[in-house]
Amino acid sequence: MSPELVFAALGLVLAGALALYPTWQRWRHGRLHRRPFPSAWRKLLRQRFPLYSQLPPPLQQRLQGMVQVMVADVPFVGCQGLSVTDDMRVLVAAQACVLVLERPGGGPPYPGLRQVLLYPGPFVVQAEHHNPGGVISQGREVRLGESWQHGQVVLSWPDALAGAKAGVWGGMVLDPSAHNVVWHEFAHQLDQETGPANGAPALRPGQSQRTWAAVFKREYEDLRWLADAGQPTLIDPYGASAPEEFFAVVTEAFFLHPTSLLDQHPALYGQLQHFYNLSPHAWR
């Protein structure tokens, strides 16, 4: 066979493989969704992630399928000598997938997610500070998590584990000041799907951009005012630092304290309910 024919044949095979890849991915994900959920994973989620047991059965089943897809698809990388176990993958994936339980499309839970980096504790980063007057300074900062554009999430594993138990469950406040670093960073991932994080993720079909922007602007300004005045707030005052942080912390509050958020910030709750297409206040 002449070299030209060999190249032409190889090109055809490659084009065929590329054309079939989405079909193959759909078939593979369908299989992963239908695969029985390992009983050890179910036990782990019941013990370590109270929200899992509170989910309505159809959502619980969907979450299980999504966890199987994410664990199979996304590399979890241990940093600073941390050796990543299946328990770690499952607990992070289960929390992350809650945000996208009702995402339309049925593809992978986070199509742009390329890897999750896990640290054995809070980690230090070089951060840039934009000071008044336009002066930029560099400094070291301790972080529990980070979300990078182009699909990378970085987490302190002990904090991801602690966050899984945070919130109000069955009327019991497990830790009122608690955070969920996984929800925080994966909210940033959703925001970053449309470019750099700015607190304006792509909304659901039919959701009004104008209403979203008006509600978020008002609530963000209220939080800034209360944070400046040192007043206690249900929403983490860290959200007053930037619109993207506001979106991430209200996502945490939406799943951690849904009933309180609904009572105290009904318009904000309504926007998040529409965006996630979920009603966590009804799961308690």
Q: Which is nearer to Zn ion, 73 or 191 (CB)?
A: 191
Q: Which is nearer to Zn ion, 41 or 220 (CB)?
A: 220
Local structure of 2: helix, strand or coil: coil
253 binds Zn ion (CB under 5 A): no
Q: Which is nearer to Zn ion, 159 or 245 (CB)?
A: 245
Q: Which is nearer to Zn ion, 73 or 245 (CB)?
A: 245
Q: Which is nearer to Zn ion, 63 or 113 (CB)?
A: 113
User: Quick one: which segment of 18-26, 167-175, 208-216, 247-255 binds Zn ion (CB under 5 A)?
Assistant: 247-255
Name the residue with the smallest CB distance to Zn ion.
248
Side-chain half-sphere CA neighbours of 16 within 13 A? 6
Q: CB neighbours of 85 closer than 8 A, spacing ≥ 6?
A: none
User: Quick one: which segment of 48-56, 117-125, 172-180, 246-254 binds Zn ion (CB under 5 A)?
Assistant: 246-254
Cβ atoms of 183 and 252 closer than 8 Å: yes
Shortest distance in whole angstroms from residue 248 CB to Zn ion:
5
Q: Which is nearer to Zn ion, 148 or 169 (CB)?
A: 148
Local structure of 229: helix, strand or coil: coil
Q: Which is nearer to Zn ion, 168 or 248 (CB)?
A: 248
86-95 in b/e burial notation, b at 16+ Cβ within 10 A?
eebbbbbbbb
For 203, phi then psi, to 5°, come to: -80, 170
Shortest distance in whole angstroms from residue 269 CB to Zn ion:
20
User: Quick one: which segment of 42-50, 172-180, 227-235, 244-252 binds Zn ion (CB under 5 A)?
Assistant: 244-252
Q: Which helix H or strand E contains 163, and what residues bound it?
A: helix 157-164
Shortest distance in whole angstroms from residue 231 CB to Zn ion:
22
Query: DSSP secondary structure string, 179-203?
Result: --HHHHHHHHHHHHTTSS--S-PPP
For Zn ion (CB under 5 A), the number of binding residues is: 2
User: Quick one: which segment of 18-26, 42-50, 174-182, 240-248 binds Zn ion (CB under 5 A)?
Assistant: 240-248
Within 10 Å of residue 9's Cβ, how many Cβ atoms?
11
Shortest distance in whole angstroms from residue 239 CB to Zn ion:
9
182 binds Zn ion (CB under 5 A): no
Q: Which residue in this structure is represented by tokens 């607990």? A: 91
Residues 254, 256, 258: CA angle, nearest 5 degrees: 45
Site string for Zn ion, 188-227 (x = CB under 5 A): ----------------------------------------
Q: Which helix H or strand E contains 147, and what residues bound it?
A: strand 145-148
Cβ atoms of 91 and 78 closer than 8 Å: no
248 binds Zn ion (CB under 5 A): yes
Site of interaction with Zn ion (CB under 5 A): 245, 248
